[in-house]
Each structure stands twice: as C-alpha cells, then as structure tokens.
Structure 1
C-alpha cells in the first residue's frame, strides 16, 4: 500500500475501502479516461488526479478562471466545427449529404450558443426573484413586495374567502324565502294528483 493511500485512510477504514472511495471520486474517474485516451502521452494517472483535485479546489474556493477558459475554448471549437460542417454541406453533391452535414452543423452552432450562454451566466448571474403566491379558487394573487409580511386577520374579522352563511340567520341572498311552516295549501292540492 502506498504512503499516499495510508495517509488518506479514514477511521476504521480498510485499505480496499480507501482504494474504492478514492477510485470513485470524479477526479479519478476523469483521470482514468484522460490517460486511457493516450492524448496525454505517458503521463502518470496520479499526477492527472492531483491536477484535477487542484482545479476542483480552485472552483470550490470561487476561482472560475479555469472554467471560463474551458467554456470559451469549447465555444471556439464548436464554432470551428460549425464552419467546417457547413462547408462540407455546401460542397456536397447529394441531397442526403447536404442534409446530414447541415443537421450536424446546426447542432454544433446550437451547442456553441449554449456554451457561450453558460459563460455569460457565470460572468453575470441572473437575478432571482422569490414571489409569494396565494391561490384562492381559480384566481391567483401575487404579492411582489419585499417588505415585512402583513399581519394575519384577527379572529373578529372575516377572512376574504370565509363562507357567509356560517352563522344562523345570516343569508347571502336577502330575498330568500324563509323556512317552511305548517301546511302549504297550494302544494297540498298538487299532492293528491302528483304524489307527495
């Protein structure tokens, strides 16, 4: 077991557990892909992991210089890809070639736009507005004020959506008929003919 791995052991952790934990970090996984691609020559994987960890630490401390540079480089690469694919599409003698190259060119253009938009949002983040909403029935009330919240209505006051006919004798329609009483003579004559 290497000295580096021994130093990174957590409490009651075996060497194989420490190796599994270290191997599954984003830096190790990315380093494995980068070294396996052979684009970096014979660079040692641990050196790549260490560099990726330094870059991760820089981002965690708020330094986005590397991220901004990476996004700008990717936008340039995608823009170059767009230009090359558009040229191939225009030089194509067949309609299928024209369509497939143009489809790929427009995808590269859209990715370049999205990359630049991400870079712009990193440089100047959007302002987020928190909106309080109260949904009452099918109407929506939006309160955009950022001042202190208003006090709730007291028990003695009626809330806006409280039913009016809660208390005895209180009616919404003042023309409503009163309670039935005694025998209704007009209905009594119909009763004999149409049943009660």
Structure 2
C-alpha cells in the first residue's frame, strides 16, 4: 500500500481579517484613543502606529528606557496634581470641601509613590531565591531531598527498683537474722527470751 500524498492547504486571510488583526493591536488601539482626544494633532495615524511599534520592539529587546522615562514623567504629573489639590483643600471654606480635596490629594501622592516604586523595581529588579521546602511543625519535618530511613531508637533498659533488693538474685527476707552493725554497738539482736512466741506473717 503506497503512502497517500500529503496535501497542504494554504489558509489565506481575507482583507477584513487582516485589517481586524491590525486594528486590534495595542499600538492601533492606543493611537485611536490619542486621536479621539485630539492629542496627535495633524500627525498621520500610520506614523503614530509605527512609532509605537518601534517602542514596543525596543521593550521586547530589553530596552526599558522609554518605560522609565514615562514613569518619571507620570510621577512628576502626579506630584503636581497632589500640590494643586492640597492647595485647593487648604483654601476651602467648608470642612466638606477640605476633606474631599485632601482625600484626592493624598490619593495622587500615593500614586506618585507607587509610580516611583515601580521605576525602582525596573532599575533594580528583585532577586528571587529558590529554596527547598522545609516545613517544621510539632515533631513534623518535610524534606524534599533524599529520603532516608529513620534511625532506630535504642531500647532503654528498664531501671529496676533496687530499693527492696541488694542484688537481683537476693530478695529481702524479713525473717532472716541480721548481724549487729559496728556503727551502733549498743544495738544488738534480741535474745531468745525477748522474742515473741508467734512470728508475724
């Protein structure tokens, strides 16, 4: 049985599909917004799209100069906005106006701080350290390394109660006669006539 020839079908895009893909790029969407805000003036839209494409390509290459410049400019703008709103708050004649303007001023100040923080992270990215997991709890430890068998614990010899015996083979006999010790010469064993007739059991 012979192999069937492989047929490759070329998928051709229509003009509408090409335009849709082009118009939905981030560069085109940004230019459309700038044009509707009359910020481009008489600049041709195609030229604006090409400029944004060049800036995007530079970022993809790792050149963050344009992004850093933008963050610095935005931080200055937010700082100016904070100054303006704080001035309006201090000149307000009513407490409600003072609180409203001051709240907006502090929001602008916080955004300026966050913008500068982002700029600092671009200039000096944080180092990420990857470490092995070790969760230690109450007698629980998780090691993701080489698995080792736990060491066998030594069996501790049970301590005998030696209060009632001198050696393990000698038991205390309450009926046995004991010799008088040298430490107390006045104490001696009882004579026969002083002993009780009946031995206690």
Secondary structure of 1:87's counterpart equals helix
Name structure 2 gaps, 5 residues minimum.
1-9, 153-157, 159-201
Match of 1:181 in 2: none
Q: Which has the larger radius of gyration?
A: 2
What is the aligned partner in structure 1 of residue 54 from structure 2? 54
Aligned residues: 146
Displacement after TM superposition at 1:42 (Å): 2.0
Deviations 1:116-168 (A, max 9, x none): 0000000011111223224477677587xxxxx84322xxx3489xxxxxxxx
Paired residues for 1:64-75 under 5 Å: 64-75=64-75
> What is aligned with 2:146?
151
Q: 1:38 offset after TM fit, Å?
A: 0.5
1:66-109 deviation digits (Å, cap 9, x = unpaired): 11000000000000100110011001101111001000000000
1:76 aligns with 2:71: no
1:27–1:53: 8 Å Cα contact kept in structure 2? yes
Counterpart for residue 87 of structure 1: 87
Partner of 2:155: none
Note closer, same or farther for the CA distance 1:95–1:135 as it changes in structure 2 (3 Å cut): same
Describe the shift of the 1:115–1:142 C-alpha distance in structure 2 as closer, same or farther (beyond 3 A).
farther
Q: Which residue of 1 aligns with 2:26?
A: 26
Greater strand fraction, Structure 1 or Structure 2: 1
TM (normalized to structure 1)? 0.66
Where does residue 107 of structure 1 map in the other structure?
107
- Equivalent-residue separation in structure 2 for 1:27 and 1:13 (angstroms): 21
Q: Check conservation: 1:133, 1:140, Cα contact below 8 A.
A: no
Structure 1: segments with no counterpart, 5+ residues? 1-9, 144-148, 161-173, 175-196
Q: Give the Cα separation in 2 of the matches to 1:90 and 1:19.
A: 53
Q: How well do the aligned residues superpose, as a CA RMSD in angstroms?
A: 2.8
Q: Which has the higher helix share?
A: 1
> 3-state SS of the aligned residue for 1:128?
coil
Residues 48-68 of structure 1: CA deviation (Å, up to 9, x unaligned): 111100000010011111110
TM-score, normalized by length of structure 2? 0.65
